[in-house]
Structure 1
Amino acid sequence: MNNTLIKTDAMSAFQTWYLVDIDARIELVAKSFLHHEVCDDVTMAKIRNDIEIFVSKTLPMPGPTGESNELYTQGRGVALIGDFTAHGDSLSVLVHVVIALMTGNTALVATDSEALSGRLNTVGLDFPQGVLQVVSIEEWMQLCDENIAVVTLVGEQAPTAETASLLAGNIGAITAIIEDTGHLDSSLLNDPRLSFRYITECTRTINVTAVGGNATLLELSH
């Protein structure tokens, strides 16, 4: 499959994947990764706990004129996650993949590790087409364009400067860049708010007073 089709599938899948209830999405991802023994129980429990505390709740915010406001989150879009680890430890990459999927993004994982590719391809069969895909690391630069919402570079050998320079020349929304050393003791990987980097906040407003009692719905993404 060429890069255009890969990204098209990922973008198409995002349009329905982010609409899945977040609690159901968390359960689906956790069940799949644990069933295929791709992620251990302790790591998965921490990821789930952090997302459930900091991301999954919809916050009510009553307005001064009677409107009802709700603050919630959704995925940013397609997340491109690159495996540039040199020490052969793929758990750090898997943590980012799990968080990206649970928070409502679709994921493209670039890696040259046959073991990681095999495990992720197996897991990907549990999800709708395009939600989780694996590509070769040599396709990294060709995939970094305006269709990607989040770019995650994992590992000390990551081409961070080259990637940032390429993304800066893209047209459209600014692409979020996440840099991780890939070491399991890194501060980023152990940050309970790591999922914030994969989401965008949205506000839903239901106004039942300003138009004579007819409810109107406004929805804004920040």
Structure 2
Amino acid sequence: MTIGIQSIVGNSLAAWEGWNGLGYETRIQILNRWAEQLDQSARAMVSFQCRNALEHVGETLLLPGPTGETNELYSAGRGVFIVTADADVSITAVIGQITAALVTGNTVLVSLPSEFALSAGELVAQLEKAGCARGVITAIDNIQLADCVSITAIAGVAYAGQLSTSQALARQLAARDGLLAQLICETDCESLPVIGSPTYSLRFVTERTRTINITAVGGNATLLELGSGEH
């Protein structure tokens, strides 16, 4: 594995925290600006993925908790996702994969065949023009793909194409050390039942909880001591 690939993944990881921290509304604004550069079908796919992500994973839920404390449940991106597809897959399908990964707070490494309608480099240039910071989406060569999939820092792979390739990717991910990576496959590239699902974005997120202590200094000492007494 080359130092160059490790550096690419490292740069994507470095960009992830800032992108993930922007929040859904800001990310959607950037993606909508990107959509203005695309054809009608691709624009509709961007809108579809953003709308569904906002509905299904974009809301922060307030959980019950003790007085003086707020507890929130929210979704966050998993990290760095690889997006890749076969040459005969529609550009609309790939736009759906990229949008779902980005809108949910992940950064993306995109690898596409040389004969594809749009090159990975063109997609990166479009998204950076729309407002994505450098490193949020990065083009990688097909020859780098296998090595990138093997890096344990990769949180998941979104692939559209043949069943046999998806099975090979599953085996490669299963052979890695460390945490299991998410594999999101679309093998029906005509109907797009996976990418076209309203809950597609759920595959790209993880749930987090956030606790905020709002008790004023010098407040009720009994409340501050809850849970610390003897049983």
Shorter-normalised TM-score: what interval? 0.7 to 0.9
The count of corresponding residues between Structure 1 and Structure 2 is 212
Candidates 49, 52, 60, aligned match of 1:50: 52
Any runs of at least 4 consecutive aligned residues in structure 1 with deviations exceeding 6 A, and if so which? none
The letter of the residue matching 1:11 is: L
Q: Which residue of structure 2 lines up, in the alignment, with residue 112 of structure 1? A: 113
Distance of 1:70 and 1:211 partners within structure 2? 24
**1:93 and 1:182 in contact (8 A); partners too:** no
Matched residue, 1:92: 93
Q: Tell whether the 8 Å contact from 1:69 to 1:205 is kept in structure 2 after alignment.
A: yes
- Equivalent in the alignment of 1:153: 159
1:180 aligns with 2:181: no
- Percent sequence identity is 27
Asked if 1:122 is matched to 2:125, the reply is: yes
TM normalised by structure 2 equals: 0.82
> Cα gap change, 1:164/1:52 in structure 2, threshold over 3 Å: closer, same or farther?
same
The two structures, once aligned, show a CA RMSD in angstroms of 2.4
Q: What is the distance in 2 between the residues matched to 1:196 and 1:71?
A: 15
Name the larger-Rg structure: 2
Amino acid aligned to 1:125: E
Structure 2 unaligned regions, length at least 5? 225-231
Query: Secondary structure of 2:117's match?
Result: helix
1:142 alignment counterpart:
147
Code of the aligned partner of 2:61: L
Q: Which residue type is aligned with residue 123 of structure 1?
A: Q
Unaligned runs of at least 5 residues, structure 1:
215-222
Q: Structure 1 residues 182, 109: CA separation in 2 closer, same or farther (over 3 Å shift)?
A: farther
More helix by share: 2
Q: Take 1:138 and 1:83, find their aligned partners in 2: how far apart are those partners?
A: 14
